Amino acid sequence: MASTAMTMPPRCAIVTGVARRRGIGRSIVDCFLNEGYCVVGSDIQALEEQGSCVTNSRFHFVRADVSDAAQAKSIVQASLERFGHHIHVLVNNAALTRGEEGQDAIQAFDAMLRVNLNGPFYLSHYAIPHMPRGCSSIIHVSSTRALQSEADTAGYTASKAGLCGLTHSQAITYAGHARVNAILPGWINTSDEHEHEVAIREVDKKWHPVGRVGEPVDVAQLCLFLCDESKSGFITGQQFVVDGGTTVKMVYPS
């Protein structure tokens, strides 16, 4: 006898900053696709064509600049048109790490805030009306630079710290509607496989208390956990450091 149970439509996620094949965003896309999600990926750059997601019918790419409110809205609209009227997950991963060639310090600072902080606000604002109450999540990919700095990183540091503030503000604003959390990656190896051994030295691995540098999947798996209300339904407004233990390591001058 055929089952009368209705098949639930797949959950839908939007992930920004997905162009690079070895990037954090692409790993997040792959993990969500493997879990059965429909995924809309977006980036200001063209999508690097390698990778399984490119040929997956549950993946749709939108080339857009999240620092522009109208283009951020177009990403949400593309998701609704392609996969239906619900958005269950928003992962704000797109980021500028440095200013573009020819920019002065003020221009670079403004650009990083627009992409790294304004963009996540715009996308959250446009996505939240379409996120089902009680089973939706927003994740902001911040950085350990929100907690510690190198010289001449004002725009990146300020924007990533701002994401932590946006996280707990939205967790209260969207209470009962969507849970909002932040992930703060440390050193994540996003180099191509053939560059891996050149880029990562033994001393780099030993610097980390866990004995290795991070991989994009380390961030992606935490995203999956934070979006699963059966596992993380009591967690909102929090920030999770994914850095192999380096930010808690006491360092003295040599």
Active site residues: 156
Residues with Cβ within 8 Å of residue 76, at least 6 apart in sequence? 14, 87, 123, 126, 127, 130
Reference 24, options 190, 139, 227, 186; nearest CA is 190
DSSP code at position 112: H
C-alpha 98/C-alpha 111 separation (Å) is 9
Neighbour tally for 91: CB within 10 Å: 31
Reference 95, options 5, 182, 168, 7; nearest CA is 182
Are 181 and 239 contacting, i.e. CB atoms less than 8 angstroms apart?
Answer: yes
- The number of helices, as runs of H, and strands, as runs of E, in the chain is 9, 7
